[in-house]
Structure 1
Amino acid sequence: MPKPPLRIAILECDTPLPKTKEIYGGYGGVFENLLKRGAQALDDPSLNPEAGFQVTKYQVVDDPSNYPSLDDIDAILITGSKHDSFADNPWTNTLVAFVEKVLADGRVRTIGVCYGHQIVARALGMKVGRNDDGWEAAVTNVELSAKGKELFGKDTLAIHQMHRDIAYTYPKSVQLLGSSPVCSVQGMYEPRRLITVQGHPEFNHEIMTEILDTRHSTGIFNDEAYDKYIKSAGLPHDGVAVAAAFLRFLLED
């Protein structure tokens, strides 16, 4: 079991939009904020919400050599991204190879979120690509498996989504955490090795609204889709419960 302070390397696979960037600096900052709130909710005396982490951030899109040494970390967290998880280009292929290395390490643990979830699936040899059922966005209810209910402490999970790519399936070595009508693989788990979610526990109303507004103005979402998603952008969600589950995973014996 890793001992606090947990050394978490956040692999930033995208840059936030301007308002979010001004507040948090980058997606690493968004996740650092989420993990602190998750630690507060976890209320574990061994994990101080302020001093229980040593978070380092690596922007891997523009610098494919920008990765940590596995000797210096206890876990990686792979963020979401506007990029395609199935792309065949140098930086994506380098990311997949690094995640394969981490998964084979046996000590360093892996957390994947949205794009990061898909990258983990790809590193495990699973097919990822466009979803024939289209977009899933804003706060969505995920039906949890028995393991998902155990890990998240919920019967169903309300979580922000922003994706039209999916992992089509999952390996037999991992446990499925949940599904939705639009996406059958909403999360994966293997004790002391990996945990992933297709949704965005780190998003809030403001972050989601900025993304929806931008994708509406650029024509990615038409008026009908925008109106549908903006109505659920501010609904209550379980992002902090997911963060607490991430931390319990990191502390597993």
Structure 2
Amino acid sequence: MKIGILQTGHSPDEVKAELGDYADMFVRLLDGHGFEFETYSVVDGQFPSGPDAADGWLITGSKHGVYEDHTWIPPLEQFIRDVQAIGLPMIGVCFGHQIIAQALGGKVEKFAKGWAAGPQTYDFEGKPMVLNAWHQDQVTQVPPSARVVATNAFCENAALLYGDHIFTVQPHPEFAARMLEGLITHRAPGVLSPEQIADAAAKLDAPLDDRAMADWMAAFLKGQKS
């Protein structure tokens, strides 16, 4: 099964040699599930020929906001609608979670209470899961076609399910401790408060449910979860 990765941003240059780009992190996360991958750097204007260029799709995170004026955002939104129309499986993470919501009639805004950074606990319909987060923007209005499947006190709409073929999640299962450390070092200063930086750094070794989420995502892409 071929998964097309729509890369909407780049990892910090300071960690790229060690950890790769955002698409590489998803390839590692989903390793062992029998997928082949092709990356399209939509942030650089590289788009697939159409929604049928892969058997399923995954949209990465980004430093950009989905509401920003970038030439690649409107065609990405249309591509999302095209994928939805033909019923292929699609997963969105962080920016991917937000751009799918925006494309399908929801609303995304900067959250008034600020940033979530580091391990956070989410309630996935009664099942607690700990995943790394790194965001200020949030889906504040859920699209009519979606239902909320994960939440916590800080992020009300932490994961959304659209029928049985689109799943999106705000936190980053692909971000392991080393990536969080890189973000804390190279992107947090001047953005997060010193207290937030110290708190996130202190939790770098917290146990995560990233493998459980990876298994769930793989099953969803294969049509085995709804």
SS state at 2:5 partner: strand
Query: Which of residues 78, 85, 102 in structure 2 aligns to 1:122?
Result: 102
Residue 30, structure 1, aligned to residue 21, structure 2: no
Q: Distance in 1 between matches of 2:58 and 2:64?
A: 17
The 1:194–1:206 alpha-carbon spacing in structure 2 relative to 1, beyond 3 Å, is same
Q: Structure 2 matches for 1:112-151, cutoff 5 A? A: 112-145=92-125, 149=126
Q: Distance in 1 between matches of 2:103 and 2:220?
A: 20
Residue 232, structure 1, aligned to residue 184, structure 2: no
Query: Which of residues 7, 19, 40 in structure 2 aligns to 1:58?
Result: 40
In the TM superposition, structure 1's runs of 4+ consecutive aligned residues that sit over 6 Å from their partners are none
Q: Distance in 1 between matches of 2:222 and 2:164?
A: 8
Unaligned runs of 5+ in 2: none
Deviation at 1:19, TM superposition (A): 4.5
Q: Distance in 2 between matches of 1:28 and 1:251?
A: 19
- Aligned-residue sequence identity (percent) comes to 31
Q: TM-score, normalised by structure 1?
A: 0.83
SS state at 1:176 partner: strand
Residues 9 and 68 in structure 1, CA contact (< 8 A), matched pair in contact too: no
Q: Distance in 1 between matches of 2:73 and 2:111?
A: 19
The 1:69–1:178 alpha-carbon spacing in structure 2 relative to 1, beyond 3 Å, is same
SS state at 1:168 partner: strand
Query: Which of residues 222, 225, 236 in structure 1 aligns to 2:193?
Result: 222
Q: Deviations along 1:183-222, whole A, 9 cap, x unmatched?
A: 10000113432011100000011000100111344x1123
Residue 196, structure 1, aligned to residue 154, structure 2: no
Size of the alignment, in residue pairs? 224
Q: Deviations along 1:95-131, whole A, 9 cap, x unmatched?
A: 112111111122x211000010001100110011111
Query: Which of residues 1, 11, 27 in structure 2 aligns to 1:16?
Result: 11
Q: Structure 2 matches for 1:78-157, cutoff 5 A? A: 78-106=59-87, 108-145=88-125, 149=126, 155-157=127-129
Q: Distance in 2 between matches of 1:196 and 1:176?
A: 10
Cα RMSD (Å): 1.6
Q: TM-score, normalised by structure 2?
A: 0.93
Deviation at 1:68, TM superposition (A): 4.1
Deviation at 1:73, TM superposition (A): 0.8
